[in-house]
Amino acid sequence: MSTTKKAKPNRCAVATGSASVHWSSASDQWATPPDFFRAIATEFGPFDLDACASVENAKCDRFFGIADNGLVQPWAGRVWMNPPYGRTIGLWMRKAWEESQRGAIVVCLVPARTDTAWWHDYAAKGTVRFIRGRLKFAGHHKDAPFPSALVIFNSQNEKISHAEKPI
């Protein structure tokens, strides 16, 4: 398996450099806010894998970058996923759900697009936690123009009881 690795000593580190994404509808990548990730990692981590990342924004030592194509790689353990928010998001959500059926716990940060097919086909199968307010994604000066949600898939496809608490 060809996974990209960061040279950081801890399992899941928060990137300290500036994000390579810009406030633009031309980009489908929204780097996870570091403070938000720390809170989620405290609750659900430590994470073993960041399934959709780059060297600049990876949240774990082990991550899949674009060249690795996380859609064709096996996932295991506790997985963090903040997928591209464009046309491929449905493929990523399907992959997250499928990998949870193989035993992974996958925590997904996604736009709360409840009117889409991918939401009904996959997100609704997990535990959904809507995020109050709008996130300010790393590298952006304004809040996101969309609401966000966490979707948690686990191997037993059971609802996670503590997931109902507000974020």
User: Which CATH number does the domain housing residue 101 bear?
Assistant: 3.40.50.150
pTM of whole model > 0.85?
no
What pLDDT is recorded for position 50? Answer: 95
How many folded domains does the chain comprise? 1
136 in a domain, yes or no? yes
What pLDDT is recorded for position 125? Answer: 96
Range of the domain at 112: 29-158
15 in a domain, yes or no? no
What pLDDT is recorded for position 27? Answer: 54
Q: Taking residues 137-142, report their average pLDDT.
A: 74
142 in a domain, yes or no? yes
Residue 32 has which token pair?
A: 């996870």
| Cβ atoms 135, 25 nearer than 8 A | no
36 in a domain, yes or no? yes
CA-CA distance, 12 to 146, in Å (whole number)? 27
User: Which stretches within the chain are classed as H helix?
Assistant: 34-44, 89-101, 117-121
Q: Is the pLDDT of residue 143 over 60?
A: yes
Sign, CA dihedral 79-85-86-90, equals positive
